[in-house]
Amino acid sequence: MRTSLGEPDARAAITFLGTDRIEVLRFVDDQVVRYATLGMSAQPMADPTAVVADPLKGPRAELVLSVKAGRADTDKALRPLAVLAASPQVEGVVVAPGASLDVGEPLWPGAPFTSVLVGEPGGLVEDLELDAPMDPVRFLPLLPMTPNEAAWKRVHGAQALQERWLASGTDLRDPARKSVPLDVTPE
């Protein structure tokens, strides 16, 4: 992460009962604040239907949220991000691109978002290769969704929502953005 994002200027650690410690690092440049989890990839994510989880094999990931600096008190997103990062250990979910993750409350005070869409890895931070037989760590971007967008995504799918954002010129890093228009077909 340091190679791609620089040195973190702040970090917070949270431990949930029965889970490993999760840290959230903050990286700031002049215009964008990025929050990245650290610790989610310590254990591979296991298929919740598996009888026994493999301690080495399985997908590994960390989460990255990028927002424009100075437009909202986004530092309060540290706890919700740690909750999302702990969800594979707590709930047995496998976090993958196209998935929706919901925290049930605003991501930060006054945020119009209570959930995120997990984006495709490889854009901002490259995968981190680990020794075989371990899977690489993938750095998954989180795209904040309004409740209306999350509901629309459940019906139409992640790809359709991303196309709607693109067609509308939605700035997904704007911490105060409004929901994309969902009732009309994009041109």
What does the pLDDT read at residue 184? 56
pLDDT tens-digit profile of 76-111? 999 899 999 999 988 888 999 999 999 999 999 999
Hey, is 32 helix, strand or coil?
strand
pLDDT at 29 over 90: no
At residue 185, the pLDDT reads 56
> What average pLDDT does range 160-187 have in this prediction?
88
Q: What is the pLDDT of residues 42-83, one digit of tens each?
A: 999 987 677 777 788 889 999 999 999 988 899 999 989 999
Amino acid present at 117: L
Entry pTM:
0.92
- Which candidate, 150, 87, 83, places its Cα nearest to that of 116? 150
Going along the chain, which residue ranges are E strands?
Answer: 10-14, 22-28, 32-38, 60-68, 100-102, 115-118, 137-145
CB of 132 within 8 A of CB of 151? no
**Contact assessment for residue 108 and residue 72, using Cβ atoms and an 8 Å cutoff:** yes
Question: In the predicted model, what is the mean pLDDT of the chain?
Answer: 91
Q: Which residues pair with 102 in a beta bridge?
A: 115
60 DSSP assignment: E
Q: How far is residue 84 CA from its own chain's centroid?
A: 7
pLDDT computed for residue 50 by the predictor: 72
